[in-house]
Chain A
Amino acid sequence: MVVQALAFYLFATIAVLSATAVVTVRNPVHSVLLLILTFFNAAGLFVLLGAEFLAMLLVVVYVGAVAVLFLFVVMMLDINFVEMRQGFLNYLPIGVLIAVVLFVELAFVGAGWTLTDEAVAVLAQPTPAGVGNVEALGRLIYTDYAYIFQSAGLVLLVAMIGAIVLTLRHREGVRRQKISEQVKRTRADTLEIKKVPVGRGI
């Protein structure tokens, strides 16, 4: 168990430190890279909890896809760091206020949380005995919570279609390659053989 404890403290320390650094470093690209490090350590914590499927999913979805797009956007922004710092004091009171509200809410939740004996027993084993991680999760979301899961999928589908509709623009005068037309082209469409009389031209 010593190794697990050491691994936990390693992941937890790096996660907390890098999460702090995300909001304190000056360069936004460094922020995103540190955010990725945080995600990665969170995945490590998931593995220690016995939720290896969730850990891999976190890496594939957040680190492998979401953060890449995030990094793209941040890399291509032309940000003036000095200008960005100027409004800092103006926004400070509102920011602190929101942080305090969130903190108080979290404290209330934490203080009012009691664990029943059943919950404690479940804590010790993340999945039912003899069932793999993936299977346990699959049983939950495709049997017990099938409708909720499907509607979540529908919401995401609608959001995706919305994003596509909002950004789809047809520009005039753009020449696009239409491969089907190129393939359908026959010799008769493009070539015409003419007999040219000698000395006359066409």
Chain B
Amino acid sequence: MELLWDGYIEPLVWIVAKILAIVVPLLVAVAYLTYAERKVIGAIQLRKGPNVVGPFGLLQPLADGLKLFLKETIIPTSANKGVFIIAPMLTFILAIIAWAVIPFDEGMVLADLNVGILYLFAISSLGVYGIVMAGWASNSKYAFLGALRSGAQMVSYEISIGLIIISVLLTTGSLNLSDIVRGQIGGVWEWNFIYHFPMFIVFIVSILAETNRAPFDLPEAEAELVSGYNVDYSAMTFALFFLGEYANMILMSGLCAVLFLGGWTAPLPFLDFIPGAIWFILKICFVLFIFLWVRATFPRYRYDQLMRLGWKIFLPLSFAWVMLVATFLVVFDKVPA
């Protein structure tokens, strides 16, 4: 009995507690990201944004969530029911489980995998299934077209993201996310975005495309596809897509912070007394602000322009950068051990 408690149940309780400690704040963050988005875009367009529900409209995301929760879930009669229901769940689960390897502070990580960055890459490459399955199962032309676009877009930009990650890994010498951050300790001038500055820009643009955000939100182009792959979804099934998309945005911002902005490290050494998790969250907020800023600023790309940018510009550019970094490291004998 004691063995059962010490060996199995206690670790299980601990892991569940840790998972809840990550997931619950994440879901709250997702809710308030939608609020922040409307406020930021409102400010950019000289409007007020949501300001009716609660002080400064702070309860607006809760009201929205409640509305979606109380609505009726409609499953179209011609839909492929099983796949139709699994698709939003898959999107949501994938957006959540990727957080297992993100290091919030020194040692503050659920699973310190040696292949952490590959795990993240693998999970984000699965994200396309939720969308493609939703588009196919809805049995509607608009949803299907949206899913096809989205699939092609995510597969294309994943390649350049992968190459950018490789060039960062070359300078770090480890696939462990905590080690990648440890390689950037010592202030803002040690952070990767200085050494990989062109790739930092390409990465930001690529994660916009990877998360289907404006100006690359073609999968849900409301003007032509009446909102794309999720047009037939309602109530909680729709909410899961929505939550998944925003959780993915936060995840990609976190990945950007880990790879380029020094993760939990302070920008100046004398600011080390502030806990690392706070720095990490601030960096995530910074990248998220770029997401919102771009959405309010740029018009939507045309589909062929999107593909041209991904395949003809970003792919060769990131390839060249990998070559350059590798050559530099070998010639100047700086290959990390």
CB atoms of A52 and B129 under 8 A apart: no
How far apart are the CA atoms of A134 and B175 in the complex, in Å? 9
Q: Are B114 and A60 in contact (CB under 8 A)?
A: no
Q: A68-B155, A75-B132, A75-B136 are in contact. Are A60 and B122 (CB under 8 A)?
A: yes
Q: Does A48 contact B (CB under 8 A)?
A: no
Given contacts A65-B155, A134-B175, whether A59 and B125 have CB atoms under 8 Å apart is yes
Given contacts A68-B155, A72-B151, A75-B132, contact A52 B115 (CB under 8 A): yes
Asked if B304 lies at the interface with its beta carbon under 8 angstroms from chain A, I say yes
- Name, among B8, B115, B308, the residue most crowded by chain A CB atoms within 10 Å (CB to CB): B115
Indicate whether A123 reaches chain B with its CB closer than 8 angstroms. no
Q: Does A57 contact B136, Cβ atoms closer than 8 Å?
A: no
Q: Which residues of B contact A179 (CB under 8 A)?
A: 308
Which A residues are in CB contact (< 8 Å) with B151? Answer: 68, 72
CB distance from B110 to the nearest CB of A (A): 16
Q: A3-B8, A68-B132, A177-B304 are in contact. Are A52 and B113 (CB under 8 A)?
A: yes
Residue of A nearest to B144 (CB): A75
Main secondary structure of the interface of A (DSSP, over half): helix
Question: Quick check: is A45 within 8 A (CB to CB) of the other chain?
Answer: no
B125 touches A57 (CB 8 A): no
Docked pose: A76 CA to B141 CA in angstroms: 12
Q: Which of A29, A72, A132 contacts B148 (CB 8 A)?
A: A72
* B115 and A56 form a contact (CB under 8 A): yes
Count chain B residues whose beta carbon lies closer than 8 angstroms to a beta carbon of A. Answer: 27
Ordered by A's residue number, 28 sampled pairs between the chains whose C-beta atoms are within 8 Å are A27-B80, A29-B136, A30-B83, A33-B83, A33-B133, A52-B114, A53-B118, A56-B118, A59-B126, A60-B118, A60-B121, A60-B122, A63-B122, A63-B125, A64-B126, A64-B128, A64-B158, A68-B128, A68-B155, A69-B155, A71-B132, A72-B148, A72-B151, A75-B136, A75-B144, A133-B114, A134-B175, A179-B308
Which residues of chain B come closer than 8 Å to A27, judged between CB atoms?
A: 80
Question: B119: CB under 8 A from chain A?
Answer: yes
Residue A36, interface by CB 8 Å: yes
* Nearest-CB residue, chain B, relative to A133: B114
- The majority secondary structure among interface residues of chain B is helix
A29 to B135, CA, bound (A): 12
> Within the assembled complex, what's the spacing in Å between the Cα atoms of A65 and B122?
10
- Nearest-neighbour CB distance to chain B for A62, whole angstroms, equals 10
Q: How far is the CB of B317 from chain A (nearest CB, A)?
A: 15
Pair A133/B305 contact, Cβ less than 8 Å:
no
Q: Which residues from chain B contact A64 at a C-beta distance below 8 Å?
A: 122, 125-126, 128, 158
A125 to B114, CA, bound (A): 17
Q: A52-B113, A57-B118, A64-B128 provided; 17 other pairs, C-beta below 8 A?
A: A27-B80, A29-B136, A33-B133, A52-B114, A53-B118, A56-B119, A59-B125, A60-B118, A60-B122, A60-B162, A63-B122, A64-B122, A64-B158, A68-B128, A68-B151, A71-B129, A75-B132
Mark A52-93 against chain B: 1 for CB-CB distance below 8 A, else 0. 110011011001110011011001100000000000000000
A76 contact set on B, CB distance < 8 A: 148
**Contact bitstring B117-157, A, C-beta under 8 A = 1, else 0:** 01101100110110011001000000010001001000100
Which residues from A are CB-within-8-Å of B158? 64-65
Shortest beta-carbon distance, B175 to chain A, in Å? 6
Nearest A-chain residue to B312, judged by Cβ: A179
Q: How far is the CA of A63 from the CA of B118 in the complex (A)?
A: 13
Give a binary string over A26-44; 1 marks a CB under 8 Å from any B CB, 0 the rest.
Answer: 0101100100100000000
CA distance A2 to B4 in the complex (A): 11
- Which residues of B have CB within 8 Å of A52? 113-115
Residues of A within 8 A of B148 (CB): 72, 76
Roughly how many angstroms separate A7 CA and B113 CA in the complex, as a whole number? Answer: 18
Whole-angstrom distance between the alpha carbons of A12 and B187 in the complex? 48
How far is A57 from B83 in the complex, measured between Cα atoms in Å? 26
Question: B129: which of A3, A36, A56, A177 is its contact (CB, 8 Å)?
Answer: A36
B336 to chain A, nearest CB (A): 12
Distance in angstroms from A9 CB to nearest chain B CB is 16
